[in-house]
């Protein structure tokens, strides 16, 4: 077998394999009930492959063909024994119902052997280059097939790329993975507990460790979770380098997942023999499924954005890391060195050891006494109360708010000077930045010790640091942006962000006119760039964004060509997504830009996974405590925990929070999680009897917070009932940001995977005030409404505890004024983006609402123009 190619067997060869499988099953037993069970098991495998084919356009054609053929042989044997049996008849009917699907599979194999250019139909969409390779198969030497059926390696010598053969099968052998790694960019996912991964894993740099429990917990909490939900779940648990690789997963040619020992073993195991053994074993639940199905489903099919789709269906490594070690030896594995205890040669694998983990001596992990505060971080209500009561000196990080907890939780670093960020927040608010982390990891006894103070800029910490001239100029400039070939998705977002006063005021604290750019110092933001954060760009994106804004200011009244900024964005984006000249989703671009700006400016970076885990994860007891807290208190505590890992001006200005509560309709148990958001994505509800439908922004907000029923496949696994039950899901907006970005979910994905656009007209306040106070739960709101009155914390007590915690702008009312609208015309692939942005007028020119269509700028637009059915994203400023 060559190292880079494989081939699909033809139908004659596969019939021989199917016949041998059926003979082996019949040799094992001819008992009617067992044979019927075998048939059902084989048809389940066949069904799974057909489902993959309908979703992807490809599947394991060989396995599907063999299963159907072998099931047919067994059906005939069952009919010989008792053709009048109702069970036998029902089994035969089930078999016959799948005949059309079998014809589809046969057509593919026929094309591969005889007719490479034939259109096989039935929804199959084989890759053109792969079909072109099929044409040489018929002339392939028959010697390559004259082998023993068990020697699969010789049967796949041909001219199909091995990486495509792997995506068909859904699994790779140890030898195949070894060959793929040498020729392609492969991402490995070690799907085991972190302690097992740290002790022994495949010696390969492009690897990510994801614990099965993390995926299971996410699915239990958010049954309809997306790949972005998974990223957020893992962001504070796995190492930064692992998270960065996971976020770049679309840039890899193939994702391969493994655990300790799932799948057939050997250098080139025969998957048909392995399937036969599993059928005989009778473990029906494991025959058509793998331990990786949920993870693969999230990564492959539950993509929040179209650009997140993997190029190939992920595979699993047959035999896992155990088989990898058996094939390639001790040099093929390594371990994560974390302390001197682990600095010994990799432990060997033992066949007599546990099947769940590598049987090697591991460092002792003593359980933590929950009564002891082993972590320097305040995590729950009990921690806060005990700290306030005892007057503990446990340090806390500097606050973004002028209201701090130093009166009750004194900080050892409180005497150090903090850096003032020159912004233009609401009156009476003082926003100060934290001290930047040192290169040394933070001490477990003093979190404040990991921060070194920086010199304060010359500007004042109050909102008066920005002069009136600065504010006026930043709100008046108008500069068009050249379309660089479908870059309108970028231009419309840049116009809206360039009109966001918090952002421009932070980067340009003193700028009165475009002429003053030459003499203006715009370097103060650089001291906030954290070059040690591996999730950021080391300031590359941030400095280029500032340079772009500077060029836009200098070109006011004309237009600027942002070619350098697009080049940088393209080079930094996953899979070079924004480097092409293809149309993109402006929301995906905005999310990427805000995320990277945040990571560049994030002051709270902790590299130790265990320390991150101590902050981000709660024990079951702590989660139960959170369920009985009032909403305001629980939300505030969760936000403070979030800030221990995420602390930047992007968080302070753009991010809000919503809670997601699952409630079991059987026992009433609840599970509530709190999630940060930079963009509030709202569903567009369906309204009957309105043609064309006209909705309001309030309708979309109401749909967002409406209780959803989870039934059928979406049932929640209730931890109290110990099973999946009919449940409800309720979202609540618990924190509102200074800059609110609202996204209308206009693109809807169909069950067949096709995107369609909703052109519903949505009315939103343009020159009027948007008041969201009613969506913000006030003091006295309970998380769990079914609690007994004796268990509910009193409003007075809640207010007392809240007074010891930072308010961070969470004081009603929450009133907003619109300052930007991003519009989308057309469909997902051939559309066009424009924007409306509010600008200030002066004695020389009336601007008001300006329409930006790439380089063209139209001034003084009417409110009726700004309010339009093509609105896709709204930018609101809190007033």
Chain-centre distance for alpha carbon 359: 33
Residue 316 pLDDT class (50, 70, 90 cuts): very high
Q: Which fold has domain 167-335?
A: Oxidized Rhodanese; domain 1 (3.40.250)
pLDDT per residue over 501-559, tens digit each?
999 989 988 665 555 555 455 567 888 999 988 889 999 999 999 999 999 999 998 99
pLDDT of residue 155 exceeding 90, the answer is no
pLDDT at 612: 81
The CA distance from 878 to 809, in Å, is 10
Question: Which H or E run contains 257?
Answer: strand 254-258
User: In degrees rounded to 5, what are phi and psi of residue 152?
Assistant: -70, -25
Helix-strand-coil percent breakdown of the chain, rounded to 5?
40, 15, 45
Average pLDDT score over the chain? 77
Q: DSSP letter at 687?
A: -
pLDDT per residue over 462-506, tens digit each?
333 344 555 577 888 999 999 998 899 999 999 999 999 999 989
pLDDT at 410: 32
Least confident span in 31-35, 425-429, 844-848: 425-429
pLDDT of residue 405 exceeding 60, the answer is no
| Model confidence, pTM | 0.63
pLDDT of residue 426 exceeding 50, the answer is no
pLDDT of residue 327 exceeding 80, the answer is yes
pLDDT at 649: 93
Residue 6 pLDDT class (50, 70, 90 cuts): low
pLDDT at 846: 75
pLDDT at 861: 95
115 vs 845, which has greater pLDDT?
A: 845
Residue 54 pLDDT class (50, 70, 90 cuts): confident
Q: If you average pLDDT over each of 4-18, 45-59, 69-83, which comes out highest?
A: 69-83
User: Please, are residues 195 and 335 in contact by the beta-carbon 8 Å criterion?
Assistant: no
Residue 270 pLDDT class (50, 70, 90 cuts): confident
pLDDT of residue 325 exceeding 80, the answer is yes
28: Cβ–Cβ under 8 A, 6 or more apart, which residues?
280
How much of the chain, in percent, has pLDDT values that exceed 70? 74
Residue 33 pLDDT class (50, 70, 90 cuts): confident
pLDDT of residue 28 exceeding 90, the answer is no
pLDDT of residue 149 exceeding 90, the answer is no
Residue 878 pLDDT class (50, 70, 90 cuts): very high
Residue 705 pLDDT class (50, 70, 90 cuts): very high
pLDDT per residue over 290-301, tens digit each?
889 999 999 998
The CA distance from 821 to 741, in Å, is 10
pLDDT at 402: 31
User: Please, are residues 733 and 656 in contact by the beta-carbon 8 Å criterion?
Assistant: yes
pLDDT at 674: 93
What torsion, rounded to 10 degrees, do the Cα atoms 623, 241, 592, 316 define? Answer: -80
522 vs 749, which has greater pLDDT?
A: 749
Average pLDDT of 401-429? 32
54 vs 772, which has greater pLDDT?
A: 772
Residue 388 pLDDT class (50, 70, 90 cuts): very low
pLDDT of residue 136 exceeding 50, the answer is no
User: In degrees rounded to 5, what are phi and psi of residue 728?
Assistant: -125, 155
Least confident span in 221-225, 579-583, 668-672: 221-225
Number of H-type helices and E-type strands within the chain: 31, 33
pLDDT per residue over 782-815, tens digit each?
877 767 677 788 899 999 999 999 999 999 999 9
Count of CA atoms in the C-beta half-sphere (13 A) of 503: 22
pLDDT of residue 398 exceeding 50, the answer is no
Q: Give the DSSP per-residue string, 640-662.
A: HHHHTT--SHHHHHH-EEEEEEE
Average pLDDT of 450-469? 37
pLDDT at 220: 81
- Map tokens 């409404």 to a residue: 785
User: In degrees rounded to 5, what are phi and psi of residue 696?
Assistant: -115, 165
pLDDT of residue 429 exceeding 50, the answer is no
pLDDT of residue 591 exceeding 80, the answer is yes
Residue 776 pLDDT class (50, 70, 90 cuts): very high
pLDDT at 287: 66
Average pLDDT of 853-876? 96
pLDDT at 68: 95
155 vs 676, which has greater pLDDT?
A: 676
pLDDT per residue over 549-577, tens digit each?
999 999 998 999 999 999 999 999 988 88
The CA distance from 109 to 100, in Å, is 15
Structure tokens, 74: 């067994």
Map out the domains of the chain as residue ranges: 11-112, 167-335
3-class SS of residue 676:
strand
């Amino acid at each position: 077998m060559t190292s880079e190619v494989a081939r699909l067997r033809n139908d004659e060869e596969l019939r021989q394999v199917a016949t041998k499988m059926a003979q082996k099953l019949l040799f094992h037993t001819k008992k009617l009930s067992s044979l019927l069970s075998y048939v059902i098991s084989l048809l389940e495998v066949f069904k799974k492959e057909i489902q993959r084919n309908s979703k992807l356009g490809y599947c394991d054609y060989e396995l599907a063909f063999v299963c159907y053929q072998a099931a047919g042989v067994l059906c005939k044997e069952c009919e010989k024994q008792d053709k009048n049996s109702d069970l036998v008849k029902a089994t035969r009917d089930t078999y016959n119902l799948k005949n059309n699907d079998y014809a589809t599979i046969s057509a593919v194999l026929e094309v591969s052997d005889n007719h490479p250019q034939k259109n096989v139909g039935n929804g199959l969409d084989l890759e053109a280059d792969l079909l072109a390779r099929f044409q040489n198969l018929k002339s392939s030497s028959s010697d390559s097939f004259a082998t023993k059926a068990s020697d699969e390696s010789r049967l796949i010598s041909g001219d199909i790329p091995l990486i495509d053969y792997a995506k068909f099968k859904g699994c790779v052998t140890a030898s195949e993975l070894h060959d793929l790694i040498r020729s392609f960019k492969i991402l490995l996912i070690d799907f085991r507990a972190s302690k097992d991964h740290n002790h022994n894993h495949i010696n390969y740099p492009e690897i990510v460790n994801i614990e099965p429990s993390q995926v299971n917990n996410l699915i239990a909490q958010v049954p309809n979770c997306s790949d972005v939900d998974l990223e957020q779940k893992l962001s504070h648990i796995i190492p930064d380098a692992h998270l960065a690789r996971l976020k770049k997963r679309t840039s890899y040619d193939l994702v391969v997942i493994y655990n300790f020992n799932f799948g057939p073993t050997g250098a080139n195991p025969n998957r048909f023999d392995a399937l036969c053994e599993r059928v005989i074993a009778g473990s029906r639940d494991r025959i058509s499924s793998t331990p990786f199905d949920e993870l693969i489903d999230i990564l492959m099919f539950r993509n929040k954005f179209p650009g997140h789709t993997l190029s190939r269906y992920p595979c699993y490594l047959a035999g896992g890391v155990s088989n990898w070690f058996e094939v390639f030896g001790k040099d093929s594995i390594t371990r994560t060195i974390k302390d001197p205890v682990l600095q010994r040669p990799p432990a060997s694998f033992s066949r007599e050891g546990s099947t769940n983990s590598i049987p090697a001596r591991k460092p002792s992990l003593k359980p933590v006494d929950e009564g002891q505060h082993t972590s320097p971080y305040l995590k729950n209500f009990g921690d806060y109360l005990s700290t306030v009561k005892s007057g503990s000196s446990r340090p806390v990080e500097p606050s973004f708010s002028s209201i701090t907890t130093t009166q009750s939780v004194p900080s050892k670093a409180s005497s150090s000077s903090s850096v003032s960020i020159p912004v233009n927040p609401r009156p009476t608010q003082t926003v100060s930045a934290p001290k930047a982390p040192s290169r040394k990891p933070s001490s477990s006894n003093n979190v404040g010790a990991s921060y070194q103070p920086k010199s304060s800029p010359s500007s004042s910490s109050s909102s008066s640091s920005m002069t009136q001239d600065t504010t006026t100029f930043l709100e008046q400039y108008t500069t068009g942006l050249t379309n660089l070939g479908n870059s309108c998705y970028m231009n419309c977002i840049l116009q809206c962000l360039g009109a966001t006063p918090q952002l421009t005021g932070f980067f340009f604290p003193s700028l009165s006119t475009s002429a003053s750019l030459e003499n203006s110092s715009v370097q103060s933001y650089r001291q906030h760039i954290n070059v040690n954060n591996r999730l950021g760009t080391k300031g590359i994106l941030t400095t280029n964004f500032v340079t772009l804004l500077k060029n836009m200011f200098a070109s006011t009244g004309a237009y600027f060509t942002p070619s350098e900024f697009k080049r940088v964005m393209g080079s930094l984006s996953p899979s070079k997504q924004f480097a092409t000249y293809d149309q993109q989703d402006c929301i995906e671009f905005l999310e990427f830009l805000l995320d990277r700006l945040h990571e560049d400016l994030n002051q709270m970076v902790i590299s130790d996974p265990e320390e991150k885990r101590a902050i981000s994860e709660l024990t079951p007891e702590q989660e139960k405590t959170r369920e009985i807290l009032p909403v305001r208190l629980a939300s505030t505590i969760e936000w403070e925990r979030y800030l221990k890992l995420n602390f930047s001006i992007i968080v302070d200005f753009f991010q809000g929070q919503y809670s997601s509560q699952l409630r079991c309709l059987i026992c009433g148990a609840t599970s509530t999680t709190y999630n940060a958001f930079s963009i509030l994505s709202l569903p567009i509800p369906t309204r009957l009897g309105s043609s064309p439908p006209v909705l309001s922004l309030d309708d979309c907000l109401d749909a967002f917070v409406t209780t959803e029923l989870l039934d059928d496949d979406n049932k929640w696994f209730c931890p109290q009932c110990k099973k999946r039950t009919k449940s409800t899901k309720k979202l609540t907006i618990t924190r509102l940001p200074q800059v609110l970005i609202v996204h209308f979910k206009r693109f809807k994905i169909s069950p067949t995977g096709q995107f369609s656009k909703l052109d519903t007209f949505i009315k939103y306040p343009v020159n009027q005030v948007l008041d969201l106070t009613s969506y913000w739960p006030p003091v006295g709101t309970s998380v769990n409404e079914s609690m007994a009155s004796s268990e509910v914390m009193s409003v007075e007590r809640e207010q007392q505890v809240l007074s010891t915690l930072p308010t961070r702008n969470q004081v009603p009312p929450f009133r907003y004024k619109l300052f930007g609208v991003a519009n989308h015309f057309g469909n997902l692939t051939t559309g066009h983006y424009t924007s409306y942005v509010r600008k200030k007028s002066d004695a020389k020119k009336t601007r008001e609402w300006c329409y930006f269509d790439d380089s063209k700028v139209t001034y003084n637009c009417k409110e009726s123009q700004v309010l339009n059915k093509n609105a896709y994203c709204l930018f609101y400023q809190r007033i």
